[in-house]
Amino acid sequence: MKKYLLVFWAGILLLAACQPGASQIVVQDAWARPAGAGENGAVFLRITNAWPDDDALLAASSQVAAAVEIHRSSMQDGVMSMTPQERVELPSGQEVVFAPGGLHIMLVDLQQDLKVGDTFEVTLHFENLPPQTVTVTVREP
Amino acid sequence: MKDLSKRNLLWGGLVFGLIFAIGLWQALSQPPSFRGALLEPLLPAPPLQLQTSTGEPFDLQDYRGKVVLIFFGYTSCPDVCPTTLAEMRLLQANLGADAADLQVVFITVDPQRDTPERLTTYVQRFSPQFLALTGAEEALQTVWDDYGIFREIQEVDSAAGYLVAHTARVYAVDKAGNLRLTFAFGTSAEDIQHDVQILLQEATP
Ligand SMILES: [Cu+2]
């Protein structure tokens, strides 16, 4: 009887793990460059939408900066410019890469130094799925 | 029959030797192939009549016999400028003792916000050997124009205030003071190092 109970609870746990929510948007390799208080920083990461429906990243927030924005750097005729993004599409089953020279989460007016080895939290806000907080590691690229 | 095969072997050896010699001669007589874009015609690098962020006058003439890498950017830039400066640091580290003849120079495209103190803090984070240059807007404009730097303030809806679109190339000045090469953004540190090593091996004029 005890054995059956164990299987029952294991089943409940398994079901809980499969509930929609935190694990449907998979964020990997979140990192930021070292930067000083008062400067601007950038967070890079990879977002995979493992949910059957499309979603979009609408905003990000963090305690470490006065403001957090989503930007895209782009190159035209050797000239680099940055454009704030209102939304970044996250198509179902696809990975979107935030990397140097492209998409980045911009930390405007850092409230603290970001030193190599430090970690801090950034919360990502999506159109459909609940917000997700990820830990960002400060490192050299 | 035996004689014939001996003769064939001799001829074969001769032909092989000839091909080898031609190849060697070609390899030695060809100019080194650069991975960055060669600037032609070869002209002296335009002067940089600016000040270092620590307040000393800067003169490019003082850097004859050194290879100077120049990059234009601004300290509020969190992505492209740090990416390039981090590459420069990696290059400097990889060169080891040879880096003594290398000078990395960062020139602001945003004098309004880039105070000397801000510039110093910014470049020193990458390397204490890097120099940041600034000056009066007029002097900077001359430098931007001379180096063909496009630079435009963009009023965007950002908490960062305005952003600055700017040419994101690295320029290499050789030991003779000529503006020699330019590297597009994203050129790997390895490719830049390949070219810088060739420039470092050139004789000091
Ligand atoms: Cu940005």
CB contacts, 8 Å: B125 with chain A = 34-36
**pLDDT above 70 coverage of chain B, percent:** 92
In sequence order, what E strands does chain A have? 25-32, 41-49, 55-61, 65-76, 79-84, 88-90, 95-98, 103-110, 119-126, 132-138
Any idea of the CA torsion for A20, A24, A29, A33, to the nearest 10 degrees? -90
Residue-wise pLDDT tens digits, A8-19: 555 544 444 444
Domain CATH code at residue A113: 2.60.40.1890
In a domain? residue A15: no
B106 versus A21: the higher-pLDDT residue is B106
> pLDDT grade, residue A55 (50/70/90)?
very high
In a domain? residue A10: no
In a domain? residue A95: yes
Inter-chain contact B165–A41, Cβ cutoff 8 Å? Answer: no
Largest Cα separation within chain B, whole Å, is: 90
Query: How many domains is chain A partitioned into structurally?
Result: 1
Alpha carbons B159 and B166: distance in angstroms, whole number: 19
Residue-wise pLDDT tens digits, B24-82: 666 555 667 899 999 988 999 999 999 999 999 999 999 999 999 999 999 999 899 99
- Closest-CA distance of chain B to residue A3, Å: 57
- Supply the range of the domain harboring residue A87: 23-138
Phi, psi of A67 (to 5 degrees): -150, 150
CB contacts, 8 Å: B82 with chain A = 33, 35, 42
Q: What is the pLDDT, as a whole number, of residue B78?
A: 87
CB proximity A82 to B under 8 Å: yes
Inter-chain contact B168–A80, Cβ cutoff 8 Å? Answer: yes
Q: What is the pLDDT, as a whole number, of residue B108?
A: 97
Q: What is the pLDDT, as a whole number, of residue A20?
A: 46
The first and second tokens of residue A91, run together, are 């198509």
Q: What is the pLDDT, as a whole number, of residue B56?
A: 96
Q: Which of A34, A80, A84 sits opposite B125 (nearest CB)?
A: A34
CB contacts, 8 Å: A34 with chain B = 125
Inter-chain contact B78–A100, Cβ cutoff 8 Å? Answer: no
CA triple B116-A104-A132, angle to 5 deg: 125
How far from each other are the two terminal CA atoms of chain B, in whole angstroms? 62
In a domain? residue A9: no
In a domain? residue A13: no
Count of C-beta atoms within a 10 Å radius of residue B197: 15
CB contacts, 8 Å: A79 with chain B = 150, 165-168
Alpha carbons A61 and B149: distance in angstroms, whole number: 34
Whether the pLDDT of residue A21 is over 50: the answer is no
Inter-chain contact B77–A40, Cβ cutoff 8 Å? Answer: yes
- Which residues contact residue B188 at a Cβ distance below 8 angstroms, ignoring those fewer than 6 apart? B87
Whether the pLDDT of residue A122 is over 70: the answer is yes
Q: Is A21 left (phi over 0), alpha (psi -120 to 50) or beta?
A: left
Q: What is the pLDDT, as a whole number, of residue B2?
A: 55
Largest Cα separation within chain A, whole Å, is: 73
CB proximity A71 to B under 8 Å: yes
In a domain? residue A71: yes
Tell me the residue type at B100.
Answer: A
In a domain? residue A58: yes
What's the whole-model pTM score? Answer: 0.83
Inter-chain contact A108–B186, Cβ cutoff 8 Å? Answer: no
**Alpha carbon of A106 to ligand 1 centroid (Å):** 5
Cα–Cα distances in angstroms (integers) from residue A18 to residues A51, A92, B74, in the given order: 12, 17, 47
CB proximity A115 to B under 8 Å: no
* Residues of chain B falling short of pLDDT 70: 1-5, 22-31
Q: Which of A69, A71, A79, A111 to mutate to test the interface with B (most CBs of B within 10 A)?
A: A79
In a domain? residue A5: no
Q: Give the β-pairing of A25-32 and A132-138.
A: parallel
Alpha carbons B101 and B115: distance in angstroms, whole number: 28
CA triple B104-B131-B32, angle to 5 deg: 15
Cis before B78 (ω within 30)? no
